[in-house]
A and B are shown apart, each in its own frame.
Chain A
Amino acid sequence: MKPSALTYHRPESIAAVCDVLARLGHEAKVLAGGQSLIPMLSMRLAAPANLIDINMLPEQDGISIDRHGVTFRALVRHSALLADDDAHQAQPLLRRALQLVAHPTIRNRGTTVGSIVHSDPAAEMPAVLGLLGGTVRAQSQRGIREIAATDFFLGPLECGLAEDEIAVAVTVPRRAPNEGSAIDEIARRHGDYAVAGVAAQVRIVDGVLSTATACYVSAGELGTPMDFTEVLRGVDPADADDSRWNAAGDLARDTIETETDIHASSSYRSQLVAALTARVLHEAARDALRNAAARTQRPDGDAEPRADSGAEPREDSDTEPREDSDTEPRPDSGAVSQSADDSASASNATGRSGTTGGTR
């Protein structure tokens, strides 16, 4: 249970990281939080000759929010992203999902970018990135490129970074005014990897559901969303008794592949997939309703949530320059820009995530 001999590199700039990667590529591994890599080294599941520790790069630590979404860099710990209120307002699914990632002590060290690069099918954040359609920014001596989530996840523990590339940041889109999301999972012990989990996102138009997608944890294809729009189009989000929620669960059970391992049989996992899919899609739909309602209640805001594609000035303490929401053309949305007060009403989406970071 000890790592094999290795050479440790501690570059002090991103250019120096790229130098080492260009030279050593396949013989080197980037060390971020080490919460997945060090156990692999200790168990000798991995034995790279070189480790490139990126923890000495303070400029790689930072969360920024703009009209496109939330960008977190390579050194942002799970705990920092979880605690960031601005990030939560812009894309609430981040906090909701991070609350399910490991225990606080692990989250203090593990990075969210590292989790995405690690591409573990049992991890929450790859599913979130796939569901939201985020992008990974990769850097090497050859330059910088953006990799869409659809091209990023190649398979279990396999991502689309080239040998000489480091992931410097990940961006997830903002939540649109008519969107809602939710995530839930079943784990044997709170904080453990999920036996099965589902993250879902829906859009509502004129009070009924217009699109619905879900992405799976410990089931299905890593980071690849499944579309439920056909089954659910037109459902009233408030109607818990509509049989189409369960129909969506049935469809998921019949479509999503599950595997047997020491924790659960494939058929048990499939049952969880069905039950969670129905539950989480419905929760995401109710979240979308709350999201829309929170906007109408704003004292200074437009009274009508779908009135226009209006530029609504933010007046919370946020210092980020926010642009008008209509920079993101969504014909079906009638955008009203992100409001600051929705966190209060929307953060209860999964039941488990009602409280703010750190406690549940």
Chain B
Amino acid sequence: MAGKTTEQTLAELYEETGEQHLAVTLTFNKVPQTILVPSRTLASDAIRHYLRKTGTHVGCEHGVCGACTILLNGEPVRSCLLLAASLHGQDVTTVEGLADPDGTLHPVQQAFVECHGLQCGFCTPGFVTTIAAYLEKNDSPTRAEATEAISGNLCRCTGYQNIKAAVLRAAEIRRERAGLSPLGGDDELAALSLDDKVRGNTAPVGGKGDRT
């Protein structure tokens, strides 16, 4: 295969398969990459099968469940509703790209660990990417805002209470890492965090009857 240009390879792929192939060059988890894919390839499949990162999960494949959510130029989008071709020239981050190079977990990942934010873990990559992007815009969400932030993602294990707790805890961790008070300036949030601290991070659903 040595010495062949991309054009030649694409032409050969067309000969072999009878369908158009494209070269897609993107920045994938901070690394420049080029993949050759049939033009009908969904971004979710390109990520899993061509870029070989299987953290991005595919549930419904029509935009409803959110398991496939990735960051496209920092914004959360459904990778099952994108063509791989649309990633050309773009900056893509998947759940694998969130941790620091030294292995330090992203605040949202760390919060999921602490708050028992996952059960089977199928939905988790989509939640983590969605929440990571959300906290860039709103670094101290209220409980209601945390609910809203995760409303576009489905969890079949119904771990929403703990996932919501993880949103608030992730905000705390971000502040801690920035050298600020983890409780933040927001009174309501501070009270809730304190409450969580006293009761433990993962107050069971049944134990929260009197809390909203």
Which A residues lie at the B interface, using CB under 8 A? 1-8, 10, 31, 34-35, 38-39, 41-43, 51, 53, 55, 102-106, 108-109, 190-191, 358-360
Which residues of A are found within 8 Å of B151, using beta-carbon distances? 103, 190-191
Cβ of B152 under 8 Å from chain A: yes
A-B pairs, 9 with minimum CB distance:
A103-B152, A8-B39, A39-B62, A5-B19, A3-B40, A38-B81, A1-B61, A108-B75, A105-B76
| B63–A359 touching, CB < 8 Å | no
Rounded to whole angstroms, the CA-CA distance of A86 and B20 in the bound complex is: 43
B82 interface residue (CB < 8 Å to A):
yes
The answer to whether A43 and B62 touch across the interface, beta carbons within 8 angstroms, is yes
Which chain A residue lies CB-closest to B22?
Answer: A8
| A51 CB contacts on chain B under 8 angstroms | 39, 83
B86 at the interface (CB under 8 A from A): yes
Answer yes or no: B80 CB below 8 A from chain A CBs.
Answer: yes
**Minimal Cβ-Cβ distance residue in A for B141:** A359
Bound: A109/B83 CA distance, A? 12
- Taking A42-B62, A104-B76 as given, write out 13 further A-B residue pairs in contact, using a Cβ cutoff of 8 Å, ordered by the A residue number: A1-B61, A2-B45, A5-B38, A6-B20, A8-B85, A10-B85, A35-B63, A38-B80, A39-B62, A103-B66, A105-B130, A108-B75, A191-B151
Task: Please provide the chain B residues from 50 to 108 with a CB less than 8 Å away from any CB of chain A in the complex.
Answer: 61-63, 66, 69, 72, 75-78, 80-83, 85-86, 88
Give the chain A neighbours of B22 by CB distance below 8 A: 8
CB of B139 within 8 Å of the partner chain: no
Contacts of A3 in B (CB 8 A): 40, 42
Q: A53-B85, A105-B66 are in contact. Are A42 and B75 (CB under 8 A)?
A: no
Q: Which of B18, B20, B86, B152 contacts A55 (CB 8 A)?
A: B86
Query: Nearest residue in B to A39 (C-beta to C-beta)?
Result: B62
The reply on B137 being an interface residue by CB < 8 A is yes
- Nearest-CB distance from B89 to chain A (Å)? 8
Residues of chain B contacted by A53 (CB below 8 angstroms): 83, 85-86
Q: How far is the CA of A90 from the CA of B61 in the complex (A)?
A: 37
Measured CA separation A106–B76 after assembly (Å)? 9
- Residue B145 is within 8 A (CB to CB) of chain A in the complex: yes
What is the 8 Å Cβ interface bit string for chain B, positions 145-167, against chain A (1 contact, 0 not)? Answer: 10010011000000000000000
A359 and B145 within 8 A (CB): yes
B-chain residues with CB within 8 Å of residue A105 when the two chains form the complex: 66, 69, 76-78, 130, 152
**B42 touching A38, Cβ below 8 Å:** yes
Are A38 and B83 within 8 A (Cβ)? yes
Q: Determine the distance from Cα of A358 to Cα of B145 in the docked complex, in whole angstroms.
A: 10
Contacts from B to A (Cβ < 8 Å): 18-20, 22, 38-40, 42, 45, 61-63, 66, 69, 72, 75-78, 80-83, 85-86, 88, 130, 137-138, 145, 148, 151-152
Contact (Cβ within 8 A) B40 A2: yes
- Minimal beta-carbon separation of A22 from chain B (angstroms): 21
B24 CB, min distance to chain A CBs, angstroms? 10
* Complexed CA–CA distance, A7 and B20 (Å): 6
10 intermolecular pairs with C-beta atoms under 8 Å apart: A1-B62, A6-B40, A34-B83, A34-B86, A42-B62, A43-B62, A51-B83, A109-B78, A191-B152, A359-B138
Chain A residues near B40 (CB-CB < 8 A): 2-6, 8, 41
Q: What is the CB-to-nearest-CB distance from B142 to chain A, in angstroms, rounded to a whole number?
A: 9
A105–B80 Cα distance when bound, in Å, is 12
The distance in angstroms between the C-alpha atoms of A19 and B142, with both chains bound, is: 51
Bound: A34/B22 CA distance, A: 18
Complex alpha-carbon distance, A195 and B143, angstroms: 28
Q: Which residues of B contact A35 (CB under 8 A)?
A: 63, 78, 81
On whether the beta carbons of B77 and A109 are closer than 8 Å, the reply is: yes
Contacts of B81 in A (CB 8 A): 34-35, 38-39, 106, 109
Closest CB-CB distance, A346 to chain B, in whole Å?
22
A190 CA / B38 CA spacing, docked (Å): 36
B148 & A360 in contact (Cβ 8 Å cutoff): yes
Residues of A contacting B83 in the complex (Cβ-Cβ under 8 angstroms): 8, 31, 34, 38, 51, 53
Q: Are A5 and B75 in contact (CB under 8 A)?
A: no
Task: Provide the bound-state CA to CA distance between A134 and B164, in Å.
Answer: 41
How long is the Cα–Cα vector from A184 to B14 in the complex, in angstroms? 50
Across the interface, which residues of B come within 8 angstroms of A2, CB to CB? 40, 42, 45
The residue in chain B whose Cβ has the minimal distance to the Cβ of A189 is B151
Cα–Cα, bound, A39→B80 (Å): 8
> How far apart sit A282 and B84, CA to CA, in the bound complex (Å)?
47
A residues near B137, Cβ cutoff 8 Å = 358
Residues of chain B lying within 8 A (CB to CB) of residue A1: 61-62
Which of the residues B18, B20, B138 comes within 8 Å of A8, measured between beta carbons? B20
Rounded to whole Å, the gap between the CB of A214 and the closest CB of chain B is 27
Closest B residue, CB atoms, query A79: B75
B211 → chain A, closest Cβ, in Å?
21
**CB proximity of B188 to chain A, nearest CB, Å:** 15
Which residues of B have CB within 8 Å of A7?
20, 39
What is the bound-complex CA distance between A81 and B77, given in angstroms? 17
Chain A residues, Cβ within 8 Å of B19:
5-6
Using A3-B42, A190-B151, A359-B148 as known contacts, say yes or no to A106 and B78 having CB atoms under 8 A apart: yes
Cβ-closest chain A residue relative to B129? A105
Q: How far is the CB of B92 from chain A (nearest CB, A)?
A: 13
Picked from B66, B82, B145, the residue with its CB within 8 Å of the CB of A109 is B82
